[in-house]
Structure 1
């Protein structure tokens, strides 16, 4: 007796396991390549432009010179700087950003120095490096003193390698 199979009874051959795995790996590889291209393009694309602050927000009137005693350091949250009145009467507007990795550096009034919480760099009252790993002094902002009033221009940051006496503002 001969068994005849009809076309409807025949089953389609199932794809072998190996070709299924090839398809899965190819799909995952394309996904990984797409993700890599997405990240690389985001890295190479220029950053978003930050909104420009109004000029009045960048020029900060710190106060009268007589309000800051000799040897004092005063924090200005709005401008993100410290106003340091040196022992000789000079004034510096010191940036809060550590020159090592950019951490915010607080003033330690007991030790009379700036100490970075990230890697323990220490800076003196003028922003000079006392102990590394910070490679250079803290940056400063231009200061003007007119009629006994201190004004700080936070739109400009002066990167410095050493403390130059010309950077200190005097009345």
Structure 2
């Protein structure tokens, strides 16, 4: 029984240290991004994407989502609950946080708690078929709105 408690305390300590490290890293990255007024990332050409496709853009730390109507949305990979990296689950067509189980749909809206607000998004623009995403600072939001997407 004592061994069980030692394992439980070790796991809780590890999780606490991991969360603290994630929060500190997140603040440092956001501060570094905020120092520049604009940091545009080329995410690809609109012709490279099919409706419903979600593509991770590693150099920008976001997902580019091609919505069913052909519009685009750039979503942060960071869960709004505690800052874990949220992978896209293609089979379930949702983002699922591996840390605490929050799920988000393809527009970043919360489908299941503990997260209470949608994934942050990045402004984007489409010029001559090229998708440009400004990753200077992620935009926090409480809901999905049509102005958050880009159309070609």
Q: Which TM-score bucket, shorter chain as reference?
A: 0.7 to 0.9
Q: 1:54 to 1:60 in 2, by over 3 A?
A: farther
> What's the CA shift for 1:165?
1.0
User: Hey, what's the Cα distance between the residues in 1 that align with 2:39 and 2:136?
Assistant: 5
1:135 aligned to 98, 106, 116, which one? 116
> What's the CA shift for 1:48?
7.7
In structure 2, the gaps of 5 or more residues are 1-26
Q: State the secondary structure of the residue aligned to 1:74.
A: strand
Question: Is 1:103 matched up with 2:103?
Answer: no
Report the TM-score when normalising by structure 1.
0.67
Question: Is 1:72 matched up with 2:72?
Answer: no
In structure 1, the gaps of 5 or more residues are 1-46
How many residues are matched? 124
Name the Cα RMSD after superposition.
2.2
Q: Determine if contact 1:81/1:96 at 8 Å carries over to the other structure.
A: yes
Report the TM-score when normalising by structure 2.
0.75
Which structure has more relative contact order (CA 8 Å, sep 6+)? It is 2
User: Hey, what's the Cα distance between the residues in 2 that align with 1:116 and 1:54?
Assistant: 29
> What's the CA shift for 1:109?
0.8
Q: 1:54 to 1:62 in 2, by over 3 A?
A: farther
User: Hey, what's the Cα distance between the residues in 2 that align with 1:52 and 1:162?
Assistant: 24
Residue 153 (structure 1) aligns with: 134
Residue 29 (structure 1) aligns with: none
Residue 20 (structure 2) aligns with: none
Q: Determine if contact 2:73/2:149 at 8 Å carries over to the other structure.
A: yes
